[in-house]
Chains A and B, each alone.
Chain A
Amino acid sequence: MIPILMNRRLGVASRTLAAIGGGYAVTSLAVTALALTLPGREVDRVVAATLSGLAIFPCIVMWSFATRTALRAWFGVLAVALALGAVVWLGGGL
C-alpha cells in the first residue's frame, strides 16, 4: 500500500515537473522556432509565434498528465524539445 502511494506521488511530482518545466522549455523553443521560420514581416512572425506559444503550453501540460507513465511524459517532452532545438539551431545558422 505505502510503496504504491509513494510511487504514485513520485509519478505526480515527476509529471508536474515535466509539464511545467519541460512545458515552458518546449514552448520557448517552439516560439523561437516559429518566429524564425514563419513567413511574413518580422513583427507579424513574432506575434504569431507568441500567440501560438500560449496555446502550445497548455497542450504539453495536458499531454504530460494524459500519457500512461511519467517516463513517457519525459521522453515526449525531450523528443519535441530536441526536434525544436534542431530547427532553432538551423534557423539561427541560416
Chain B
Amino acid sequence: MTTLIVDDHTGFRTSARILLQMEGFDVVGEAVDGASSITAAEQLRPELVLLDIQLPDAKGFDVARDLLSRGFTKRVILVSSRDESDYGDSIRTSGALGFVPKANLSGERLRSLLSRESLCD
C-alpha cells in the first residue's frame, strides 16, 4: 500500500519509515508540514497518508479534510505523541480512518484500522 508520512520531527519520520517498510507498506514519500503534504499527496496520490496532528503550520484535522475532499488520497490515519482523549471528537469528525498514538505505532494497529474501512464499504 503506497504511503505518505507527514511529520515535522525527523526522528519520528525515520523510525516510522523503517517500521512501515518492515511491515510491508510502500513508503513513497515524506512531508514536514501541512502545505508540503498537500503538494506531495497531489503528485504521489498515496493510498494511505500517515498524518501528524501537531504540524508547524496547520492542524492535522484540517489537512486530513483537505486531502480527502480534494481526492488526493482515500485514507488518512492520524498520529500524535499526545493521547487520543486530548483531542475530543476532532479525530472522529476529521474524516480520517482513525488515530494511533505514536508510541504504539505498528503494522497491526494500522491494518486493524484499514480493515475497519473495508468493513464499512
Judge: A and B partners, yes or no: no
